Amino acid sequence: MKVWGKTADGVGVPIYTLTSAQVEVRVTAFGARLVSVRTADRNGKMADIVLGYDSLDGYLTDTPHLGSVVGRYGNRIALGKFSIDGKPYQIPINNGANALHGGPVGFDMHVYQAHEVKDGVEFTRVSPDGEMGFPGTMTDKVKYTLEGNVLRIDYYATTDKPTVVNLTNHAYFNLHGNDVGNVLGMKLEINADRYTPVDAGLIPTGELAPVAGTPLDFRKPEVIGARINDTHEQIKLGGGYDHNFVLNGQAGTLRLAAIVTDPESGRKMTVETTEPGVQFYTGNFLDGTVTGRHGVKYEKHAALCLETQHFPDSPNHPDFPSTVLRPGATFHSTTTFAFSATK
């Protein structure tokens, strides 16, 4: 651990480096962020495959949520409105007419407490009752551990009033290296027969639609860029891929979510999760205005996100898996990222 820098109000922010024989990971207490992941290609050459900034200063003004844990509610809530037990709540809108990633000042803009654990570090933060309109004092913990080639993230949350919670990591991955090209030539497999179609505001319609016969069918490996400009309505609405996939298998059990492979470098990333869904996002809103490491400007499709999660706008869709957390209960989810290289 070392102090990486300070926030505008003078709070020191630590950064931690986790290492194994295969992988080096850096995480910071600011937004409980994944700062970097260094892993080898088929020839043993190491590269950082996560988009980020050279210093803490970049994260202090970050808008694409690079590497952050987003919350209290990751993804979108329609009009920023929801009700629990008949009581209405309003979250400040910050994405068109909707609330995104917990509102204008989400969890990614706060400093967590940190302590080292076996093979990693655990970040803890108390979100006060009423923060960004959410009810209840909620304590959340994010634990990163690295064993061999597997990075594991465990999320925990408790509350003193009924609330909603959807925690995920918003890392942007580019298996070429964080400063090289785009992800359009990579291959992706998603373990999902269905997805949640969206409207023009990228809010789910409530339908669980089959991926079969659509450009959202990744049940076998497909080149990401092959259909990204398809005329299918959902691709046009998302400006590419920005959709939640309904993962096969039993939510609550650790199972395959997605596999990304880069034919050029040989790098491969396998994602498993206990969550019911994964948001596949192809960096459609990156436009060259964000300058990352080494002065590289992050252009559209410079990276992809695989945000394991409950479904967007779940509080307004009773048929979706519930995101309500009540006093006495503990929210817990696990996501793992396994890194390897193919010959």
Please indicate, yes or no, whether the overall pTM of this predicted structure exceeds 0.95: yes
Mean model confidence pLDDT for the chain: 97
* Concatenated DSSP letters of 79-137: GGEEEETTEEEEPPP-BTTBEETTSSS-GGGSBPEEEEETTEEEEEEEEPTTGGG--S-
What are the structure tokens assigned to 125, written together?
Answer: 């933060």
What is the predicted pLDDT for the residue at 343?
84
Given the residues 170, 176, 243, 317, the one annotated as active site: 170
What is the mean pLDDT of the segment spanning 30-36?
98
The rounded percent of the chain whose pLDDT value lies above 90 is 99
Please identify, in words, the CATH class of the domain defined by 2-75+103-341: mainly beta
34 pLDDT exceeds 90? yes
Phi and psi at residue 249, in whole multiples of 5°?
Answer: 90, 180
pLDDT range class, residue 1, cuts 50, 70, 90: confident
- Choosing from 65, 275, 307, 310, which is the catalytic residue? 307
Give the whole-number percent of the chain exceeding pLDDT 70.
Answer: 100
CA 91 – CA 242 distance, rounded (Å):
22
Mean local confidence (pLDDT), 282-293: 95
pLDDT score of 128 more than 90: yes
Instruction: Report pLDDT digits (tens) over 53-64.
Output: 999 999 999 999
pLDDT tens-digit map of 183-201: 999 999 999 999 999 999 9
176 is catalytic: no
> Would you put residue 27 in left (φ > 0), alpha (ψ -120 to 50) or beta?
beta
Supply 233's token pair: 């309505």
96-125: per-residue pLDDT in tens? 999 999 999 999 999 999 999 999 999 999
Residue 170 annotated as catalytic: yes
Residue-wise pLDDT tens digits, 208-222: 999 999 999 999 999
Query: What confidence score (pLDDT) does residue 179 get?
Result: 84
Q: How confident is the model at residue 178, as a pLDDT?
A: 83
Per-residue pLDDT, 180: 84
Please state, in angstroms and as integers, the Cα–Cα distance from residue 288 to each residue in 68, 78, 209, 283, following that order: 20, 28, 33, 11
pLDDT at 273 over 90: yes
Say yes or no to pLDDT of 172 above 90.
yes
> Which of helix, strand or coil describes residue 36?
strand
Q: What is the pLDDT of residues 72-94, one digit of tens each?
A: 999 999 999 999 999 999 999 99
Where exactly are the structural domains of the chain?
2-75+103-341
